[in-house]
Amino acid sequence: MFIQTEATPNPATLKFLPGRVVLQDGTRDFRSADDAALSPLAQKLFAVPGVQAIFFGHDFITVTKDDTDWQHMKPAILGAIMEQFMSGQPVMLASAGVEDGDGEEFFEAGDAETVTVIKDLIETRVRPAVAQDGGDITFKGFKEGIVYLSMRGACSGCPSSTATLKHGIQNLLRHFVPEVEEVRAI
């Protein structure tokens, strides 16, 4: 088994590509070892000193670290991923379910058509690009011209995520949806 690694715009996060499907549907974001109870792989990764967060996408895993050097962490992370996939065990326990967001969406009933366009643009143009960087972005709400988005994985806490939101996503949405005045992360 060969596992590729890719740098992300977030220097504290590295993307691991095992060459296999990690999650068939949805994404999973683990912010602590306590969150990892439903994933044997996440538990193994949190056992590596320095690991602070883990994110599973369709075919990738991103690991966020503290100030520990990647040179010391990478072999243990690669070993944990390889061990998990070679064992044939599932990445998530059957009772885990699919996670695609963090709670309910909010918007006014009169904005339903606008929200549909916003969500379609995020799904087709933004999420694929963000996944390339080892993260995910989901629509959370729209109120008074402001689009609220949730950033996860490599994008959460990334120094360039503010620029991505303000210059990339905000400009895209404003171009196609005149009702959008601003984009904010929550």
Q: Give the domain extent around 173.
A: 106-185
> Domain boundary residue among 38, 63, 96?
96
Asked if residue 68 and residue 152 are part of one domain, the reply reads no
Contact 155, 164 (CB under 8 A): yes
For residue range 60-82, list pLDDT tens digits in order. Answer: 999 999 999 999 999 999 999 99
**21/91 same-domain check:** yes
Torsion angle, alpha carbons of 47, 17, 83, 53, to 10: 10
pLDDT score of 29: 92
Single out the residue of 23, 37, 10, 44 nearest to residue 98, CA to CA: 23
Q: Is residue 114 part of a domain?
A: yes
Q: What are phi and psi of 122, to 5 degrees?
A: -65, -45
CATH number at residue 50: 3.30.1370.70
**22 and 70 share one domain:** yes
Q: Are residues 87 and 117 in the same domain?
A: no
Same domain, 112 and 88: no
Residues 59 and 36 in one domain: yes
Please give the pLDDT value at position 95: 60
Does 135 lie in the same domain as 90?
no
Kindly list the strands in the beta sheet with 106-107, ordered across the sheet, starting from the edge strand earlier in the chain: 106-107, 135-143, 146-153, 182-185
Last residue of a domain, one of 75, 96, 117: 96
- CATH number of the domain residue 118 falls in: 3.30.300.130
Q: Pick from 73, 96, 119: which residue ends a domain? A: 96
pLDDT confidence bin for 157, thresholds 50/70/90? low
Rounded to the nearest angstrom, the gap between the alpha carbon of residue 114 and the centroid of all alpha carbons in its chain is 25
Residue recorded with tokens 């969500």 = 119
Q: Give CA separation, 123 vs 13, 31, 48, 130, 175, in Å.
A: 23, 24, 33, 10, 16
Whether 101 is in a domain gets the answer no
* Average pLDDT taken over every residue of the chain: 88
Q: What is the mean pLDDT of residues 158-171?
A: 77
Task: Examine residue 165 and state whether it is found in any structural domain, yes or no.
Answer: yes
What is the reported pLDDT for 128?
84
Q: What pLDDT was estimated at residue 97?
A: 53
Residues 8, 91 within the same domain: yes
Total domains in the fold of the chain: 2
Residue 135 — very low, low, confident or very high, per pLDDT cuts 50/70/90? Answer: confident
Indicate whether 89 and 119 sit together in one domain. Answer: no
Answer yes or no: is 171 within a domain: yes
